[in-house]
Structure formats: structure tokens, C-alpha cells
Amino acid sequence: MWLDTIFFYVFALLAVAGAVLTVTRRNAVHSAIWLIVSLLGVAGLYLLQHAEFLFAVQIVLYVGGIMVLFLFVIMLVNLDQAARERQFNKQWWVALACILVVSAEAAYFLYSGTDSLKLAAPALASEPGNVEQLADVLFSRYLLPFEVASVLLLVAVVGSVVMAKKRI
Amino acid sequence: MHPVTTVHYLVVGLALLLIGTIGVLTRRNIVVILMSIELILNAVNVNLIAFSRHLQDLSGQIFAIFVITVAVAEAAVGLGILIALFRNKETVLADEVDLLKW
Amino acid sequence: MNFLDHIWLIPLFPLFGALVMLILGRRFDPQAPSDVALAPGLAGSVEDYGHHTIGSTKILVSLLCPGMVLLSFLLSIGAVIELAATAGKVHQVIQFTWLAGLPFRMADGSLARFSADWGFLLDPLSSVMILIVTGIGFLIHVYSTGYMAHDGGYYRFFAYLNLFVFFMLMLVLANNYALLFVGWEGVGLCSYLLIGFYFHKKAAGDAAKKAFIVNRIGDAGFILGMLLLFALAGSVRFLDVNAALANRTAETGFGILSVSALLLFLGAAGKSAQFPLYVWLPDAMEGPTPVSALIHAATMVTAGVYMIARSSALFVLTPETSTIVAAVGAFTAIFAASIALVQNDIKRVLAYSTVSQLGFMFVALGVGAYWVAVFHLYTHAFFKALLFLGAGSVIHAMSGEQDMRRMGGLKDKIPVTFRTMFIGSLAIAGVPGLAGFFSKDEILWQAWSSPLGSKTIFAVGLVTAFMTAFYMWRLMFLTFYGQPRMDAHTAAHIHESPASMTIPLRALALLSIAGGWIGVPKLWSVFSDGFRAFEHWLEPVFAAAYRAEEAHHEASVEWLLMALSVSVAVGAILLARRRYLARAGQQEPEAEASGLLHRILLNKWYVDEIYDFLFVNGLAKRGGSLLGRFDSAIVDGGVNGAAWLTRFTSRFSIWWDTWIVDGLVRLSAFTVKVWSYPVRLVQNGLVQTYALMVMAGLAVILGYYMSR
């Protein structure tokens, strides 16, 4: 129990701190690295919630795939110029005010709704492997969305190649 | 120390969401904006997982998988657009692109 | 396999063939770089004739398209055999509804809802038609592989031909008038495309347009008739319409039913080339000869006959219209036959002969002998297709020559063509024992004996029969007998057609002999009932038509009339022989072309000229100038006066406009401009600003829920 709690706070801290640093760094490479930290933190939260499959997916896809993509693009696009510019736009104070209002409101809702969510979920008793359970559902009930998602990925691949290529 | 409840996860999710939103709304660098969008999507995933656990329903995890799928597609397309944009306009700053006005 | 429930496959095969040809045809048949088909005789040099080489991939076209029709034919046979085994001999398959309208009030005040299904109706009538269409269609496809072998656009020809078979099958298999109309228009389209197949020839293009435009007149009648019938019966399905009409009594005088029947007949007259809308059919001979055989002799032009036979329940109730049908049919028959007497173009003779024979069919329809009309349709399909194909074979042999004055003496040079055409001519002349005799004799007998018929119609029919035998044998004697009159070059190249052309000829000759024996007259009581199978087969369809029958007639009268018609036919053959064979030595058999009547006939009674004068020149041009004068005097005068008045009043309105209206407009524009500043500030084109607004909206919405 203790260990769980400690790990939760560690991972939550990683995720939130990483996120803050991602958003605030001047150098985009630093941002990307802090984003990796944040994503690893989130992956840890998945693990604490017994979503082992998602944990693996998060690390392989996000940290391994998407972040590499980001780093590639950062290298392709000349960011030195951008790093010397102003990092925040003119509306930043309006945006910040707006976010503060929204966060206050969201916090209120969360607080007022806490009662109904207070009970922590009991641990799954003698659960089969998370991956196996997930596969069961994914390939039966969610088979069609799964296939559609594959089409979406294909479209995304074709689309990004078309847009990024100099001449088609 | 309190035991960790679902609400804790929701708070983390909310924090990630708000930080991501701040990034999207205030940063000028489009690469960072795209990263912030990833943060927002992760916030959603944290919430989905938390509720999946809370309600003992695997659908939440399934949806998280789909969110990740869409995030991958979004990142690929977004970065493709970014490269095309940089090639054509020599900029990666969001407030120098105002073609929506025309 | 259950053929009856798969009727939809029957039209599907030719459609498939047509689509494959239209899409991939050019790959199969790459020989024609320009895709311009050359008319026979124009295609390269004359030497090309006689070389029957087919390109390696072209053979695919030759196999696929006839093969598709053959498949349809086999399916049709299967379906008809199964139909014969069913009790009611009616099988309706409804696939889906393809036209659906809003409900509205019918003529009698009850509510109805227009809907037309995509459905098929197989009954004895349509089964006869599909067998004719697919059977003869197949033979003509086979023939075409030989006949068209040298023409450019080979695949295009077969694509259209297959498409035609598809639409024709839709027409005869449709279970409602709307779907029938789809096929009706479709075959019209294919007819247009195929008449204009040699589209670089102006005459062909003109003929195609003429066919299309003349048919429009009839089609307008058809649509109106169909809608009127729908307003009366509340459905366009044949079975429903017949059921609705079954409990009506025959109309006395000329009522609403007669009007709708007459409009339908107008449609039939256009499609089946009846007077006064027949003018397109002779010109349609500009198309390739197999087309003339299939579309303009055997199948499409009989669509009108089919349609009226299909509507027999309506025509039975409308004696007035039926009389008109019979009269128009009789007039067309004798009129066209008279023109055919003197034409010199071998295909034109056959074209007018077709018009005349269609007139016969309409006589039969008009006197209420529907099964006889279908019977004649059926025998006519055999011998007229045979004659057309034979004529095509002659033209093929003559290197494209169509003028009979430059033929002669072909008897021994193209023996198969000669023998088969000999049989065809005997059949159409009405020599006993051949197909034409049975049907024509039955029509004449019905014209005499039916309550709707009359002695006049019979007499006209008899004269027409005489003319028919005469012109057909004139054609035979001019073409095959006597001295050759062609030039030496052509004569050297005369050759019998390839097997692909002679085999269909032989098959059709066989059918022309045997085909009539399923409709032997009742009078010949030595033959068992099986020899009258055709009438019995169609009985369920025309059940309504049998109500009015059947007055008793003396058998002796019938024998006498039969003898009369036979002797007329034989007499005409002998007369033709005397006129054209006896002086075969003469180089100019048309020397008699001096008489006034002959000149009128040669010029087809000047009908085309009259139409030109009345409609084309009269209405369009002279009427145009009259309208022009009316325009400049009355209409323009009114316009000018109005213009003066307008100018006068406009001075006031200019002032009003400038100060009041424009002032208001400017004021509102100014207001908008002032108020738009903050809005324009928001529309700065930056994505992040828009996203910020989304967030602000979220904040507001959440705030609203919080305050509740």
C-alpha cells in the first residue's frame, strides 16, 4: 500500500513537472526530452492502474515512436531562428487568465464530485493477464473500430508523405 | 498518507490537460504546440484508464488505445504539415501564419 | 438451378458484355486507330473483301459478345421450361423499388402512390419475346462476327449490340410500364447509336437523328398514356393494371380509357414505324445490315406490338381505339407495300416490307386477335431477319453495292445465300407450309371474321399480301436471276460469305420453314391440338380478349379465303417472274420508270417532302418569319411603349434613389462598419486566438453549470 502511494506521487510528479518543463523550455529539443519524461511518468501511472498493455504501448509508441518523429522534425526544420525569437505570443496573459478560470471551475467540479468517486477501486481479484483480456474485447466487440483505425493510420501515412515530400 | 484514489488520477489528468492547453494557447513554436497536444491526449488517457479501473470496464483501455492511434496519426500529419509549412513560408511560428483570415 | 427466380440474370449477361466492351474494347480491337468505322465498300480497297482474317485479340470480342447472348438464350430456355410447368404461367420477381413518389388522388378520388419496381414478369407473352430476342439475337451476333470483320469500331459495334439486347430484354421482361419505358428508351438509344454507326457519313448521322426525333413524338404519347393509365388504375404494374381493368365494362364512344389507349398506340406507332411516324425506319437502313436485321426488323420495331399486346386488357375495353389501330395498321401495310414495289435499294425494299408487315401486326391487334399479332411477330422475326441477313450477304458479296439494278445472276455464285433467301421470300409471300403463311393467313381470317374486323380491312390486307409477294419476288428476280449487271471489277470479287454468316442464314431458313407449324389454323383439323400450341400458350395472357369472341363462321368461307390468299401470293410471284425474269436480257429493268404512279411511288409518296414542307420548313422556318413579324410589330411596339413610360417615371425614381434609398444604404453600411471593428479584431486568422476563444467558451459554459 505504502509503496503504491509513493510510486503514485513519484510518477505524478514526473508527469506534471515534465509537462510544465515541456511547455516552458526555449529550446525545442529540451522540450521534447522533458515531454519524454512526462510521458514516462504517465506510463508509470498506467502500470499502477494495472494497464500493463497500455504501459508497453505508451513506451513503445509514444516514447519510442512519436518522440523520435518529433526529434527528426526538429532536426529537419531549422529551429535556431525560432529559439532566438519571443517564445510566447501576445495573448499569453489572456490565455493564462482563461486557463486559471477553467482550472478553478474544474477543481470545483472535481471537489464537489469527489464523494461519488471516493472509493478506490478494489484490486481485480485473480485477474487474467491484462493483455489477454484486452485482446478478447478488442478483437471481438471492437473489431470494426480496430480495422477502421488501421485505415486511419494508412491515410495518415499517405497524407503525411504527400505533404512532406518536395515533389510528388 | 491517504490511499491513492481515482480522484488522484483525475487531478493528475486535469493538471496535464491544463498545462497542455497553456502550451497550445501561448507558445509560438508549432513543434511545441504539437507536443502540448500530445500532453492533452495523455491527460485524456489518464482519465480513461482511471475510470476503466474504477468501473471495472475494459472499454476505457480500449478507447485509450484508439486515442493513442489517433494521436500517432495526428502527429504524423501535423509534422507533415509543419514540414510543408516550413518549406513554403520559412517559419515555424504559429502567429506568423494567418492565412485563415483570407 | 431455379431459373425462374434468376430471371434478372438474363438481361445481366448482355449488359456485362456491353460494359466489358465499352471499357476494355479498345484493347481487344486495336486495329482502328481513329475508331471511325468505315462503311462496307469504303473500307480500304475492294480487295479487302474476301480476306477473313481476324486479329488475335479481336477473337475475344467475337467470343464474348455472342457468348453472353447465348448464355441469356440458354437461361431463357430454362426459365420458359420452368414457367410451362407452373400453374398460372405467370411469374413475377420484384427486386426493388426504383421510383417512388408521393401519394396523390387518382381519377376516381381514391389515394394512390406512384411507385415502380425493378421487377421482372415472365409470362407466356414475355417468354415468346425473350426467346426471339436472345435466340435471333444470338444468330445475328454470330453473323456479325463475319459481316463486321473488316469494319473499324468492331468492339464498339458489339458493345452497342449487346447493350441493345440488354435493353430489349429489360423491355420485354419488365413487370410495369415505367420499367418497360426504361427498356423502350434504351433500345431507342441503341438504335440511334447503331444507325449512326458509320457516323462519318452524313446520311447515317441524319438518319440516326431522324429516328431519334421521330421516336420522341411517339414516346411523348407513351408517357402520357402511361400516366393516364396510372391515374385510372393506381398502379403501373401490368398485373395490377389488368386486375383493375378487369371489372370495367367496355367503353362505348370515346372516353378516358380510349384516350389513354390511343396515347399508348401513339407510342407504339413511333417505335413500330406506323403511319404517320414510319418515316424513320427506311432511313434507318443506313446502319450496318445486322442491325437492320436485329433491331429494325426482328425485335425493336416489334416493341410497339408487344406493348399493345401487353396492354390488351385496356384495348379490349376500347373498341374505338382498336378500330383506329386496325385502320392505321391496314393503311400502313398497303402504303408501305406500295412504296416497296418500286424501290431499287435492296435494303429499302426490305425496310418498307418491314413497315408493311408491322402494319399487318397492328391490324391483328386492332381486330382483337392479339395472339395472332404475336404469332406474326414471331414468324416475321424469322423470315425478315433471314431476308435482311441474306441481303447483307449479297451486299457483302457485291463489295458494298446495294442497288438491285446493278445486281443480277447471283444465283450460282452465292448459292447458300440464294437458297436461304429463296426460302425467306417464299415464307413472306405466304406460300403454304412456310412460317409466313400461317400467321398472315390467320391475320386475314381474323380481319374478316372478328367482330372488330371488316371486309374492307380484309380487302386491304389481301391487296397488301399480293404486293408483298410481288415486291419480294421482284427483289429475288432482280438480284439472283437474269444477266449480271454489275461492273467487271465487282463481278470478279463475288464470293460466298464465310461460315459465320451462312450458318445463321441456314438456321433462320430452317426456322422460317418450321416455325409456323405451332400455329396451324383451326380449320386444318387433321392436325392435332399440339400444332396449335402457340395460341394455347398465349391464352392466359389474352384471357380478357377472348370474352368478346366468337361468332360462328362457315368453314367453307374460311377455306375459300385461304385459297384466295394463296392464289394471290402465287399469282404475284408469277407476275413478278413475267415482268422481271422474262425481260432479264434487258439491261435496264426499270425502263417502266416513266409513269406518274411509278414516280410517286419511287419518291415514297413524297411523304418526306411533305413533312419537310409542313414541319421542318413550314413550322420552323416559315412559321419563324411569321413570328418575327409579329414580334417586331406587336411585341416590340409594346416593349417600346413600356420603355418610354419607364424612362419618364425613372427621372423621379433617380432622385428618390440617390437621396433616400442610397442614403439609407450608406447609413446602414456605415453603421455596420463602425460596429464591425471589434468583430474584425477577433478574426485575425491566428489559430491560437480561435483556440483561446474555445477555451473562453468552455470557461463560460462551466461557469454557467457551476452557478446552477
Full pLDDT tens readout for chain A, 168 residues: 678 889 999 999 999 999 999 999 888 889 999 999 999 999 999 988 888 889 999 999 888 888 888 888 888 887 777 778 888 888 889 999 999 999 999 988 888 877 776 655 555 544 656 788 888 888 998 999 999 999 999 999 999 888 888 776
SS3 (DSSP) at C100: strand
Considering only the beta carbons, identify the residue of A16, A77, A161 that sits closest to B12.
Answer: A16
Give me the pLDDT at residue C8, please: 85
Q: Which of C65, C67, C75 is nearest to C7 (CA)?
A: C75
Domain boundaries, position B70: 29-93
Contact A16 B16 (CB under 8 A): yes
Find all residues with CB under 8 Å of C292, minimum gap 6, and list them: C284, C285, C347, C350, C351, C388, C392
Give me the pLDDT at residue C619, please: 67
Q: What is the CATH number of domain A1-84?
A: 1.20.120.1200
Find all residues with CB under 8 Å of C467, minimum gap 6, and list them: C334, C337, C338, C340, C341, C356, C572
Closest-approach residue (CA) in chain B for C689: B25
What subunits make at least 3 CB pairs under 8 angstroms with A?
B, C
Minimal C-alpha gap between C663 and chain B (Å): 30
Q: Is the pTM of this model over 0.80?
A: no
Three cell numbers, residue C108 = 376516381
What subunits make at least 3 CB pairs under 8 angstroms with B?
A, C
Judge whether B49 lies within some domain: yes
Judge whether B102 lies within some domain: no
For chains A and C, CB pairs below 8 A equal 29
Give me the pLDDT at residue C449, please: 83
β-strand pairing of C111-122 with C91-105: antiparallel
Considering only the beta carbons, identify the residue of A89, A91, A105 that sits closest to C703.
Answer: A105
For chain C, 708 residues long, the average pLDDT of each consecutive 10-residue run is 81 89 75 46 40 59 87 91 85 84 75 84 90 91 86 84 92 91 92 89 88 89 90 85 82 83 91 86 88 87 91 87 90 89 87 91 89 90 91 86 81 87 89 86 86 86 90 87 79 83 90 84 73 80 62 74 87 84 55 63 73 70 75 81 86 85 89 84 83 91 88
Q: Which residues of A touch B36 (CB under 8 A)?
A: 22-23
Three cell numbers, residue B41 = 491526449
Cβ-contact C601, C339 below 8 angstroms: yes
Instruction: Give the Cα separation of A67 and A44 in Å (integer).
Output: 17
Three cell numbers, residue C527 = 392436325
State the Cα torsion C393-C397-C398-C399 to the nearest 10°: 100
* Upstream peptide bond of C550 is cis (omega within 30 degrees of 0): yes
Give me the pLDDT at residue C41, please: 43
Find all residues with CB under 8 Å of C566, minimum gap 6, and list them: C430, C431, C432, C437, C441
Contact A16 B19 (CB under 8 A): yes
Q: What is the CATH number of the domain that holds B80?
A: 1.10.287.3510
Judge whether B18 lies within some domain: no
Which amino acid belongs to residue A138?
L
Three cell numbers, residue C668 = 446602414
Judge whether B99 lies within some domain: no
Number of domains in chain B: 1
Give me the pLDDT at residue C298, please: 85
Give me the residue spans of the domains in chain A: 1-84, 129-168
Give me the pLDDT at residue C164, please: 92
Chain C contacts to B (CB-CB under 8 A)? 683-688, 690-692, 695
Q: Which of C680, C688, C702 to mutate to test the interface with B (most CBs of B within 10 A)?
A: C688
Q: What is the ipTM of this complex?
A: 0.91
Give me the pLDDT at residue B64, please: 92
Instruction: Give the Cα separation of B102 and B44 in Å (integer).
Output: 34
